[in-house]
A and B are shown apart, each in its own frame.
Chain A
Amino acid sequence: MTYLKLQNIHMKYQNEYIIHNLNLSLERGELLILLGSSGCGKTTLLKIIAGLIHPEKGKIFIEDQDIIEFSPQKREIGYVPQSQVLFPHLNIKENIAFGLRARDRSRSLKKKDNNKIKENSKDGIEQKIQDVAKLAQIENLLTRFPSEISGGQKQRVALARAIVINPRLLLLDEPLSSIDASSRESLALMIKRIQKETKTTTIYVTHNQQEARLIADKVAIMYNGIIQQSGTMIDIDKYPKNFQIAHIMGQLNIWEINSQKFDQGHLIITTPLGDIAIASKKDKNITGIQIHPNKIELANEDEVIRQKKILDLDFSEQILIVLGKIISIIQFKSKVYQIIIQINLNKVEKPFNYLKMQTQDQDLIKNLLINQNIALKIDTKDIILF
């Protein structure tokens, strides 16, 4: 059964739709990473789900119950915004207790004659705080004030504060954005661990695909106001639906194409790499191309000369030759080297384009020098078209 379902969400920002007919669904206990570039409406979407802003149109279901008319108080959704905000006048313990106390007051009156009257009684609250503090490893910070702890600790407290109310859904907005690089990974893993231990269904917003790779159960990619593609990380890596998605997923060697025409069984596309002819039976609309870094090889002189000769005559040649200059060579993994090549189109006015090539050939690497001009060959069959 689908646990969370967003249906036809519409939202305007200053008379323009930033979310336009968005749909999304999520299973119980899942961690969904919502991936999209800055300003694509991710934060707005979270605020809509939390009930902080009301969408123009749309429905939100949790377990088949439409909560769109519920106030944020009633939704029981944990929300951790991008800015690390703790109540500055309360110490860490009181910060965490804030939600429990608020609920205690609003519930105890209602369930007067219930047996579980004081689910959030004084002892109950204390116990819950201790539990969640242990979970988030902040036991020793409880008596401190927000101004006295570090950014990473603040974020853990914010997480604990959101999770302690046992929310039906947890929303995290770029939780690592203001954390220094060295502690990002451990915090991300902690979030994942807490999420799994508490079995809290979670939406985690980020623009950083590396963060997503670290912890995602499922990824949803958002731009132009809708979810463009969702699935597991592996699925999307393998079959990105289009050029933008490949770009957001941080894939290498992807380019937009400038123009295209169909001619004698060939699709001729103008790209930053030059004109490329690809055998095709019919004309089709292409938005971009991608070349896998390990599908690129060095070309020898013969191939370069041959390419020059036949370029204008016959496109049936299935090899693309690209000339360039080596900018850097780095050891990427233990045996894989990555070479960054500046593509030389002899057009200074254009922005430079760079191509990344990966190889395991140690002998090849030994013979290459920075700033050296080289020719590369790419089999046009290896070019992925979007």
Chain B
Amino acid sequence: MKNLKPNSKIETEGLLNKLIVGIVITALISFLLTFFYLPLLKILNFALIQNNSFTFEIFWTTLTSSLNLNALAFTFIQSLLTTLICIFLGMPVSYFLAKYSFKGRKLLINLLTVPFVLPSIVVLLGFIILYGEGGIINRIWIDITGIPLIKLYGSIEGIVLAHSFYNISVIIRMMIPAWENVDQNLTEISKTLGGKNWTIFWKIIFPQIKNYLISASLLIFTYTFNSFAIVLYLGEVKYQTLEVRIFKLMKNTLNFPAGASLGIIQLFFNLVIIILYIIFEKKTRAMASGKEKPFYHEKIEFSKSNWKKILVEISLIIFTVFIIIFSISPMIAVIVASFKPNTPDGSPFWGYMSLLSKDYESLLGASPLRLLLNTLSFALLTTLITLIFSIGIVFILRNRLQRLNNYKKPFIENIISLAIILPMGTSSITLAMGLFLQLKNSAVFNNNVWILIVLAHVLICIPFATRSILSAYNRIDMDLLNIASTLGASRLRIFWKVELPMMKSGLIVAGIFSFAISLGEFGATNFLARAEYGTLSLGISKLLSSRTLQLPASMASILIIITFICFFLIQKTGEKDLKF
């Protein structure tokens, strides 16, 4: 006879599940409320309320000031330029890497992705060493032509070049699957139907890659739109992004209401771009999943064929090599510079030795070693907290998903995704500004500002981490969870025994990615950090104009090496879950 009594253990586990979901939701909501939504309200408050009454006056004067309008215009122009240049430079490379098979292809793709995770201040240093006034490339160019190749400071080309360096990897990485998903059968059919190559490209191939291209462009646009460190140092007074402008208003002129107003304007544009991005990304996913089974990607082998094809192949190779050099030269330059003494009798290890000295304490606010320890511990804490919250978010989403399972419109899911989008669309300076305005008189800000730095890092990382984890989570077949429950596994058991192991790769990627982001975060840290709570990035920024670049280059080299290790680990575990 079967056991007919209701199973009380499962009953209590069901209750426990509800309890846990309740706790997770409450914890998440209160976290976001205290450290994100309330600060955001505070920003609104500063921008729109004057003498206890609601007014658009500050907002309006801020918006119409020529300095701010210039910043807005410049932000758009440089984003647009960067996006176009990245498309131009990245498309041929992505095509080459998607279509051709050769040894070391995977390694190359990963090498080209590293710049994206590189700390911005390190990139800046690399650019100064290469293209700065006494920079290697400019010196060579002057020897040949008599004039410098590029003016890095106070010019739009310097900024756009540095931003392109950063973002080419986005185009390359996102377009490789696009090219791979182009249905070769369709192209062949079109050829048999007599289509000309050009017609085939525009009518058959381009529609298949269009959405990928738009998503990638939107991503590049938003990253460049919110760029801070590079513009802060290269733009001088002439060129400022909104992000830099807000920072200067808040830190130099202490005009909080104006900073808040600009922050709101920036947030608005960011949200528009992010929502567009989400729409187009969904379309690419729909395209990918609409296909019955993943295509067998036939890679082209290099072979002798007609001269026209060889010519194309050779130019593709040259172009790719050029991009690779462009992408890795700043890193190499930094590492080389770290061993290059200023004076003929200087030691090549002086930079690294100085890390342990206390000589720079007054300039840096703390010893270089302390900065390194700060950087690592902030990154570790950020990773830990981010992972806990991201798992929480996924846990809530899955509870909804499972219940709704196609039969009702997932209303709550939409609200939650919207609640995640908002932090995604908030720049690091705005995040820091909100925390600052909210807590500037509190004991935490005055005594333990590191807590706020870590919180800002967490808020910056959560969207990335959540997307990585969700990417892994979405690969789990819902039927698997259904089976597990019919087999008698409780919700919690399913979570531990099925879902968690199956999204392990996403979790690892999310963790490492968060670590790397926190490691190099500059904007929010620079905004909030005081006294001994600086990081390596801040230390490097303070030494940028010093006599020798050997010490900052040594610090940057350490960051480069850690970033490389992070990226190597990501590549080993679950590359496909890496979401920009």
Contact = CB atoms under 8 A, between A and B. Distances in A.
Interface of A: 12-13, 47, 50-53, 65, 70-83, 85, 87-89, 98-99, 102-103, 105-107, 109-110, 158, 161-162, 165, 168
B143 to A, nearest CB: 59
Contacts of B486: 50-52, 72-73, 75, 77-79, 162
5 tightest CB-CB pairs across the interface, nearest first?
A99-B487, A102-B489, A72-B485, A81-B479, A79-B486
B6 interface: yes
Among the interface residues A52, A76, A109, A158, which one has the most CB atoms of the partner chain B within 10 A? A52
A74 B6 contact: yes
Interface string B497-540: 11001100000000000000000000000000000000000000
B9 interface: yes
B405 A102 contact: no
B571 interface: no
B485 A52 contact: yes
Contact of A98 (B2, B489, B490): B489
20 contacts: A51-B486, A52-B405, A71-B14, A72-B486, A73-B490, A75-B486, A77-B486, A78-B487, A80-B483, A83-B479, A87-B498, A89-B502, A98-B497, A102-B484, A103-B487, A106-B9, A106-B10, A107-B7, A110-B9, A165-B488
A154 B569 CA distance: 33
B41 interface: no
Nearest to A80: B483
Given A47-B482, A65-B4, A106-B13, A83 B488 contact: no
Q: Determine the main DSSP class of A at the interface with B.
A: mixed
Contacts of A165: 487-488
A97 B498 CA distance: 13
Given A65-B4, A76-B2, A106 B482 contact: no
Interface in B1-39: 2, 4, 6-10, 13-14
B407 A13 contact: yes
Interface in B144-194: none
A107 B10 CA distance: 9
Contacts of B490: 73, 102, 106
Nearest to B14: A71
Nearest to A44: B407
Contacts of B493: 102, 105
A53 B480 contact: no
B477 interface: yes
B482 A50 contact: yes
Contacts of B4: 65
A70 B477 CA distance: 23
B479 A73 contact: no
A13 B487 CA distance: 26
Nearest to B485: A72
A79 B502 contact: no
Nearest to A110: B9
A102 B13 CA distance: 12
Contacts of B489: 73, 98-99, 102
Contact of A87 (B2, B9, B480): B480
Nearest to A86: B480
Interface string B397-415: 0000000010100000000
Nearest to B494: A102
Contacts of B2: 76, 168
B485 A71 contact: yes
B485 A110 contact: no
Among the interface residues B477, B485, B493, which one has the most CB atoms of the partner chain A within 10 A? B485
Contacts of A12: 407
B10 A79 contact: no
Interface string B442-461: 00000000000000000000
A82 B483 CA distance: 11
Given A52-B405, A73-B489, A87-B480, 14 more contacts: A51-B486, A53-B405, A73-B490, A74-B7, A83-B477, A85-B479, A85-B480, A98-B487, A102-B484, A105-B9, A106-B490, A110-B8, A110-B9, A165-B487
